[in-house]
A = this chain, B = another copy of it.
Amino acid sequence: MIRYDHPITVYYKDIDQMGIVYYSRYFEYFEEARTEMLSSIGLDYSNIEENGAMLPVIEAHCEYKKGATFSQDLIVKTYIRELPKVKMKFEYKICPAGSDEILLSGYTVHACTNLKGKPIKMPKYIRKILQDNLDNL
């Protein structure tokens, strides 16, 4: 399992009339978190694109238990549990900083395509880096 913790602070831009983060905005937090996770193991997403591959989202899911509020500091805990063959799955839990209370959890599933959007196999160098990191932990 690869795990990465990414901090987020909630600003006014993300909050709705109920005083909590608008439901779609958490998917932006997920994107930040998975981008930083990949970067932390040497997979810069801009390099992946320069090398001719994209990882578009093909499935997104979220279950909301408790809304995050203005100025709250959050941790997005991101997990990869398996070596992807064709599809790559990230799982997420969002907790208040310094707490294990899960405000929400979700996942995204990604295909691998070339720059024209045609499905391709996950490039070997990506699989190798993921394998190395899955083995280590």
Contacts and interface: CB of A to CB of B under 8 A. Distances in A.
Interface of A: 9, 11-13, 15-20, 22-25, 27-28, 31-32, 35, 39, 44-46, 54, 56-65, 67, 70-71, 108, 117
B60 A18 contact: no
A125 to B, nearest CB: 18
Contact of A13 (B28, B58, B65): B28
A23 B25 CA distance: 11
The listed residue with most B CB atoms (<10 A of its CB), out of A12, A44, A71, is A12
Contacts of A13: 16, 22, 24, 28, 31-32
Given A70-B46, A71-B44, A23 B15 contact: no
A63 to B, nearest CB: 5
A109 to B, nearest CB: 9
